[in-house]
Chain A
Amino acid sequence: MSLTRRSTLAALGGGLIAAAAAGPRAALAQASPPLRIEITEGVVEPMPFAVAAFLPETPGVAEAAANVARVVAADLAGTGLFREIAPSAHRGLVTSFDAPVAFAAWRALGAQALVTGAVAAEAGGRLAVKFRLHDIQTGREVGEGLRFRGGAELWRRLAHKVADAVYARITGEGGYFDSQVVYVAEQGPKDARRKRLAIMDYDGANPRYLTEARALVLGPRFAPAGDRVLFTSFERGFPRIFLLDLASGQRRALEDQPGTMAFSPRFGPDGRTVVFSLEQGGNSEIFTLDLASGRRTRLTTHPGIDTSPCFSPDGSRIVFESDRSGRQQLYVMPAEGGEPRRISFGEGRYATPVWSPRGDLIAFTKQNAGRFHIGVMRPDGSGERLLTASFLDEGPSWAPNGRVILFARETAGAGGAPGLFSVDISGRNLRPVPTETFASDPAWSPLLP
């Protein structure tokens, strides 16, 4: 029997992704990989896995090999879908990348999946990282071995690539480890907070600052290709939208009109259109801006506050929040404007809608009975589920694969401060993302090329 151990994971309630959740019979019929985490309703039983010591195949890369293996294991364990078997339990079990795997020994350790790997230095300061994924139960390799190459300074990215490949082979979904997060780093007391734009790897590694603390900055968002960032800054005194090119560090102001406030920008899926809020005379409306021509198009006309717009991934629709009914609710309208349709009808108020990159869900902030929640609903408003609850949870941002959500959680009181957290769309695996300062307004990049 080729279908082996299956960890059943509650990743989505209500059978939302029934199509992706092949049952055992479907899996057999479709010849899906034998080692498989199926995503269905049910209990969470993380899959036991091991990352064997990555073998240094050239002199001087022992440390790099150990580091790469450590990051691969951390990526996988961090999903909550896998449980790592400690390296101390299997030291020396693999001595050659191409030698046959001692399946019986790994089986005795309780491992279901095994990642083996090797690291070699190459000419020009490059590093080659290769790996194989093994199904311990069947004694077979899952997929073919792969090799990634890059500059030695990119060793973390090489490790994330390995983990993304392993994750994709076992879950059947895209990975998200080789990605970045842009966010607002914060310091200082609550009534004099200083804020800087910052960027880091998805796991908090390699943080660096993109702006000085001289001006307040808010709400950065990635371009679809991950090469540019939109954000709102007070650097000219009044809130303005800026476009930052990450490679060059160059930035320019968009919509620099005196007497107005431009804020809440987000790229369209084409990377050429920006949807944002523009306030004039106290009234905030939603506009799009064509970056090349500078042409601006007004999409809403209502005395209520219309803000936090976000395109659907196919570019055909825009979800936004409006208090036109009396308090904040979510609305969907055609991308070229037109009659908005309200989609949120539960208790409390709904804000900051963000369309999943898969198109199947909209994540939002909900405020009800003195608590804040991150939640998801289908684009038609059905199937609402709250994933978190706290004094103040705000501003969801999707992982590239639409399985995990980043958000900011702020604590109460005079010493209250925000930090970043991630949670998967089942509401499980809530965990803090380490940052060296307070942090808010996270935005997840697409998967890096």
Chain B
Amino acid sequence: MGTLSKVLIVMAALGLAACNNPDRYLGGDAGGAGYDDGWGGGAAGGIDAAPLGDVRNPASPAFFQARVGDRVFFAVDQSTLTPEARDILAGQARWLNENRGYGIVIEGHADERGTREYNLALGARRANAVQEYLVSLGVSPGRLRTISYGKERPVEICSEEACYARNRRAVTVLTLSAGS
């Protein structure tokens, strides 16, 4: 795959407006166009469609997300990696070591049952646990960054443990790494 097509796939799949703005939830500066009420728009408000590449292509971001698994889950208040999490991260490390063109942002998240600032710190702790584990499995530290969203970006919105468990997560997000 040529560099350009790979870039396009990653941009589209991950909604990255720029490498230095990993808040993909807001669609980067997409919200600036066509809205003048100051509330922006973009991915946050409307329907978002994006090709992920072919999930059958083992080198595609879609394969990484769907088959390798891009996220691991945590117990309440914990940043300890479970055996299941370690298995998924081992798969991530193998994939990342085979597909060296991507940078990696690890997002740490918390459920809504905590105070905002504590959850921000907890998300950082979770993201860091994943980062350290990936590094221990040979992923170059230079490719990795972490960011915590605390409880700001849930994927599940019910107020039950089933949703909280899915929100206590660390997500490995592929980015266009500089110079690749």
Contacts and interface: CB of A to CB of B under 8 A. Distances in A.
Interface stretch (A106-114, A125-133, A232-240): A232-240
Contacts of B32: 214
B125 interface: yes
B147 A307 contact: no
Interface in A199-236: 209, 212-216, 218-219, 232, 234, 236
A391 B29 CA distance: 35
B95 to A, nearest CB: 23
Contacts of B21: 236-237
A441 interface: yes
B22 to A, nearest CB: 5
Given A236-B20, A284-B124, A191 B153 contact: yes
Contacts of B122: 305
Residue in A232, A307, A395 whose Cβ sees the most chain B Cβ within 10 Å: A307
B179 interface: no
A28 interface: no
Q: How large is the interface on B (under 10, 10 to 19, 20 to 34, 35 or more residues)?
A: 35 or more
B155 A191 contact: yes
Interface in B107-160: 112-118, 120-122, 124-125, 127-129, 131-132, 145-150, 152-159
Contacts of B131: 282
A351 B158 contact: no
Contact of B127 (A188, A282, A416, A440): A282
Nearest to B48: A192
B118 A351 contact: yes
B20 A214 contact: no
A414 B158 CA distance: 5
B2 to A, nearest CB: 28
A194 B115 CA distance: 18
Contacts of A305: 118, 121-122, 125
A59 interface: no
A307 B29 contact: no
A261 B148 contact: yes
Given A191-B155, A414-B157, A282 B23 contact: no
A365 B115 contact: yes
Nearest to A441: B116
A394 B120 contact: no
Nearest to A350: B115
Given A261-B124, A283-B125, A352-B117, A214 B40 contact: yes
A232 to B, nearest CB: 8
Contacts of B77: 323, 327
Contact of B124 (A194, A279, A308): A279
Contacts of A216: 23, 26, 149, 152
A107 B63 CA distance: 81
B43 interface: yes
17 contacts: A192-B43, A193-B44, A194-B40, A194-B45, A214-B29, A216-B26, A216-B149, A218-B117, A218-B152, A261-B120, A261-B148, A263-B121, A281-B128, A282-B146, A284-B124, A323-B118, A327-B77
Given A191-B153, A412-B159, 19 more contacts: A188-B39, A191-B154, A191-B156, A191-B157, A193-B152, A213-B39, A214-B32, A215-B26, A216-B152, A218-B120, A218-B152, A237-B22, A261-B120, A261-B148, A281-B128, A308-B115, A327-B77, A328-B118, A391-B159
Interface of A: 187-194, 196, 209, 212-216, 218-219, 232, 234, 236-239, 259, 261, 263-264, 277, 279, 281-284, 305, 307-308, 321, 323, 327-328, 351-352, 365, 367, 391-392, 394-395, 410, 412-414, 416, 440-441
